[in-house]
A and B are shown apart, each in its own frame.
Chain A
Amino acid sequence: MKKQFTSILFILLLSLLAFHSANAQAIATNPEARIKELGIKLRTPGPPSANFLGAVRVGNLVYLSGQGPLKEDGTFMIGKVGKEFNFDEAKYAARLTGINLLESLKAEVGNLNNVKRIVKVLGMVNAVPEFDNHSQVINGFSDLMVEVFGENGKHARSAIGLGSLPRNIPVEIEMIVEMKD
């Protein structure tokens, strides 16, 4: 009787473990669900303002145009890091830029669950010459990619500082993504 009880407990424990790992698997393979869980609502981007596109696909690689920190009200965060914006604001701008990039990626590929991995990121900070915390700012972007895509969200990356950016946005980021097929 006691043995039976132990084995039942053991099976219960095993199934619980299996359920948990299945759940973890779901997180890694279902970015669309993860985005909803994170409370992020992806908007449909309008067409680019001139003779270029939001994304171009070549084979399984998707090249994405540089995006900036578009706020919920449809306007951009404006200002230089180390002048109008402090570190925390800049990191938040990088996260907002990430959401904007997910939007243009979704517009190109339809379903984000078909993303195989994030390949390469160029993160650019519009900063005063003395600023030296670019990596930590761009982490706001990279962390979001890992929250959404799990291990597949990890990427090769360069973080750099620029003297100016379009509209005087604090952060601009471009990336290359590999699709499953």
Chain B
Amino acid sequence: MKKQVIFIVLLFSLSLLGENYVLAQDPETRIKELGIKLRARGGNSSGSFIGVVRVGNLVYLSGQGPLIEDGKYIIGKVGKELNFEQAKHAARLTGISMLEALKAGVGNLNNVKRIVKVLGVVNAVPEFDNHSQVINGFSDLMVEVFGENGKHARSAIGLGSLPRNIPVEVEMIVEMKN
């Protein structure tokens, strides 16, 4: 009898663990848990281009920047107006902006199979050499949201200027489940 009870308790706790596992694998829930509110994005392009193009199961996303609120971005060059911590935060904000563009394009982020490729661009003074650590602000968010599927191939680079003088711009390629 005692053995049976232990067995049932064990089964029950295992199923609980399983449930937690499912929760952790659900990006839409993870985003809510992280306290991130994805804004609905209208046309997130200002010209003859669009935010998202899908080819088969691959989604190509246009470069995004650190959007604070509608039309308002973090502005400034890294190593001049912005320091390292501010730049890393800008990379995280750019990640949120990217998730918004992705959601606008595919609907449900739970259908993302994995993040494939990221190009992280830092608008920096010529002496700046900490690009990788800045773009980690973006990469870490992807792993917080998508878990292991959020890990991606990546290049981090520095440019002399960016549109509107935003400090960070990131583009990426995503693979969908179907």
Contact = CB atoms under 8 A, between A and B. Distances in A.
A74 B119 CA distance: 25
A80 B131 contact: no
Nearest to B57: A58
Contacts of A50: 132-133, 136, 139-140
Interface string B108-134: 000000101111001011111111110
Contacts of A167: 129, 132
B68 to A, nearest CB: 24
B27 interface: no
Nearest to B136: A50
A129 B126 CA distance: 10
A101 to B, nearest CB: 11
A53 B157 contact: no
Interface SS, B side: mixed
Contacts of A80: 126
A46 B119 CA distance: 21
A178 to B, nearest CB: 14
B72 to A, nearest CB: 25
B76 interface: no
A153 B173 CA distance: 24
Contacts of B154: 52-53, 65-66
Nearest to B128: A164
B157 A52 contact: no
Contact of B152 (A49, A53, A165, A166): A53
Contacts of B47: none
A172 interface: yes
Interface of B: 57-58, 114, 116-119, 122, 124-133, 136, 139-140, 142-143, 150-161, 173, 175
